[in-house]
Amino acid sequence: MSDVLRNAYGLHQAGRLAEAARAYDEIINADPTQFDAHFLLGLIHLQSGRFPEVKAAFDGFLDVRTENDAQIAAMWERQQRGESPASFAVAARATPIPP
C-alpha cells in the first residue's frame, strides 16, 4: 500500500470522511487503475448515504479489477503454452495487487 493511500485510509478510519474522499479522488485522478482507492471511496459514499456515487466508485473498482484479472489470466494461459517471455510482458502491464 502506498504512503498516499495509507494516509487516505488513516483519514477514513479516523472518521474524517470528506478529507479521505478528497484524498481517494486525488489518488484516482493520478492513477485511474488504483482499484483500492475506487473501492474505499465507494465505502465512504456508502457510509455517507450517497448511493449514486457508491455505484460509480464500485463500477470503477470493477472495471479496473476486471482488466487486471483478464491480463493475469492471459499470462497464465501463455505460461501453460510455454510462452514465458510473452507472459512476463503481460504481467508487467498488470497493476500489482497490494498485500
* pLDDT per position as a tens digit, 58-70: 888 777 777 666 6
* pLDDT single digits (tens) 36-66: 888 889 899 999 999 889 888 888 877 777 7
Burial 89-98 (b: 16+ CB within 10 A, else e): ebbeebbeee
| pLDDT given at position 99 | 43
Non-local (6+) Cβ contacts of 65 within 8 A are 35
Model confidence band, residue 4 (pLDDT cutoffs 50, 70, 90): very high
Query: Average per-residue pLDDT in the chain?
Result: 78
Task: Tell me how crowded residue 60 is: count the other CB atoms within 10 A of its CB.
Answer: 20
Distances from the Cα of 70 to the Cα of 28, 33, 79, 89, angstroms: 21, 14, 14, 14
> Structural domains in the chain?
3-93 (1.25.40.10)
- Model confidence pTM above 0.75: no
